Amino acid sequence: MSEAPLLTATGLHLSFGDNHVLRGIDLEVRRGEVVALIGPSGSGKTTLLRSLNGLAAPDAGTVAFDGGPSVTFDGGPRRAWGRAGRRAQAARDALRDRSAMVFQHHHLFPHLTVLQNVTEGPVQTRCVPRAEAESRALGLLERVGLADKRDAYPRELSGGQQQRVGIVRALALQPDLLLFDEPTSALDPELVGEVLTVMKELAEEGWTMVVVTHELQFARAVADEVLFLDDGAVVERGAPSTMFSAPREERTRRFLHQVLHPLD
């Protein structure tokens, strides 16, 4: 695993009106590392993830990707990334070109087949020849057990199958960084395992991943670092072995106990 961070975020603040969603978040992600973001609903996890991918623009702080130019947000009314200057534009483009996001609710195009859903991104945004994109897509669908669904439409798939297609769609872009926004939270419990299995295999293959998740056993088993967020701030961070067995902060201990032992 490389020591130089692939992604660095420093002092991120973001507000929606009077709601201060991010309060000075610092984050480093190195190549081959899996970082899990855990915490109660409304703690800022998804907003942080969207800020890392350029889908949201913080009010303050900096974001830098793979040694390239950093974006500095300087407060005041929140600005779109594209209006923050050439350096910001270059950094945003690097983030968007070299990262891919898997959403909670799949967001597959309902009018396209599975194969079309996977190939449109590389063809339209990466200018990959369609034949090459389809060949790559079929290989990826094969590895997640969905090659036989290439001509199916999203409505014909189970929730777990749709989410696996969402993961394949992200992989087809050949990103340096994979971002997962609670990828199992919309699934029936019996379908969660098939998605987590794919994600665990990706981690074992060395993919760099930031995962917002409420699946704490998955975070314990797969993550290199776990960040516990509450009220827009990082309350505690550390290796899973420490975070789940001997958390330092009372707020972390209380959250983990409530989630892991809800009937106690």
5-16 and 19-30 as β-strands: parallel, antiparallel, unpaired? antiparallel
pLDDT at 86: 66
3-state secondary structure of 69: coil
- CATH architecture of the domain formed by 5-260: 3-Layer(aba) Sandwich (3.40)
59 alpha-carbon distance from chain centroid: 21
How far apart CA 170 and CA 198 sit, in angstroms, is 13
172 alpha-carbon distance from chain centroid: 15
Evaluate whether 179 touches 29 at the Cβ level (below 8 Å).
no
Predicted model pTM: 0.91
C-alpha dihedral sign at 169, 145, 46, 212: negative
Q: Where are the beta strands (DSSP E) in the chain?
A: 5-16, 19-30, 34-38, 60-65, 71-74, 99-102, 177-181, 209-212, 225-230, 233-238
CB atoms within 10 A of CB 101: 24
Q: What is the pLDDT along the chain (264 residues), one digit of tens a residue?
A: 447 899 999 999 999 889 999 999 999 999 999 999 999 999 999 999 998 887 888 889 988 888 877 777 765 444 545 455 566 666 677 777 889 999 888 789 999 999 999 999 999 988 999 999 999 999 999 999 999 999 999 999 999 999 999 999 999 999 999 999 999 988 888 889 989 999 999 999 999 999 999 999 999 999 999 999 999 999 999 999 999 999 999 999 999 999 988 877
How far apart CA 61 and CA 91 sit, in angstroms, is 14
The residue ranges of every structural domain in the chain are: 5-260
Lookup: tokens for 183:
């990828």
How far apart CA 197 and CA 97 sit, in angstroms, is 26
